[in-house]
Structures are given as C-alpha cells and as structure tokens.
Amino acid sequence: MPMATPSTSCARPADPAPRAHGALVIGLGNPLRGDDGIGWRVVDALRHEIAGLDAELAGIGPVELEQLAVGGLTLMERLVGSERAILVDALCSGDAPPGTVTCRPLAEVRTRSAAHLDSAHDATLPSALQAGRALGAELPAEIWAVTVETLPDDRFSAELSAPVAAAVPVAVGACLGVLRTGS
C-alpha cells in the first residue's frame, strides 16, 4: 500500500466573514465555574436590557454581544474589526470586596504574567494585542474592562455567589455607560 505524501502547502484558510463595525461586548469566563461565569451572566442581562431598544435612539449604536471562554491570541483575533470593545470578566485581585464592579480602560487592568498562562502556546491579552497591531490587525482603539471582584473559587457550579450575583445589574449599567459615552 503506498504511503501518503505529506502536504507541503502553507495555504491559509479563508478569512472569516467581515464583522460589523461598532461596539463588541464580550462576557468572558466559564459559566460552570461559579463566580468565573459573571461575564456570561452580565452579557445575558445586557442582551435582555437592550433587546427592545432602538440602539441609535438609546445612544449605544450598533453593538454585538458574545460569550467566550478564551484569552490571549484567540480573544485578540475576535476583537478584529470592532471599533470599540468591552470585556466583562471576573477579577480576583483581593483589592476590593466580592461583588465590587470596576470599569476602566484595559491598559489599567493588571494582568497575569506569562508564567501563569493556561497554555504555553498562548500570550497575555496585552501581548497578543501588541502583536496583532504590529501585524496590521484592525483592532479597537478603545478596549474597556468591566470587572467584578470575586474570591478564589474552584467549585463547579452554574450559580454565582450572592455578592457577585448582586453585581450583575451594576455591571450591566457600567457596560451601558461605556456604550453611551465611551467612558
């Protein structure tokens, strides 16, 4: 039986369909890991909040909502084509009580060092953004982080703790504020 010859083609897969320009809100985390699912819950609540709104009349413009459990390079690739982005995620800094909502430019958020990545084949989001920009990717000029302080939580559960669940409407309000004003 003849052996297959390995392919030497380096053809890139087709580029994904272009995304609509405007704002992108991404809820990050794992919805089955307790408080780590806060980003997904906020996006669910935000989707419900804006479902009946005329985006232009509400002052938020076109907005796309998504829920992801990714980081680094994959997250950077998802941001391509958006004018503005809001990332909603859990933050376990120990600097504030659980349920505290913070809204700030991504550049002001402390990130994990490369030694703490989930994969040696990935990069921190700031590094991925820097590489993407250097390669000419059309990345948002404005990236905001809406974070909800949590305690360390290694349990498998679809439920949020009481203080983190109470923060959902506050985080939705922070997202709407950024969508309306850019800050």
Q: Which amino acid is at 91?
A: L
Domain boundaries, the chain: 23-114+121-181
**What pLDDT does 167 receive?**
97
Name the percent of the chain lying above pLDDT 90: 56
138 closest CA partner among 85, 79, 182, 87: 79
Q: How far apart are CA 111 and CA 100, in angstroms?
A: 18
β-strands 101-105, 142-149 pairing: antiparallel
Q: How far apart are CA 176 and CA 24, in angstroms?
A: 12
For residue range 104-132, list pLDDT tens digits in order: 999 888 765 443 345 556 788 888 999 99
- CATH top class, domain 23-114+121-181: alpha beta
Ranges of residues in the chain with a pLDDT under 50 are 1-19, 113-117
Q: How far apart are CA 178 and CA 109, in angstroms?
A: 16
Model pTM score = 0.82
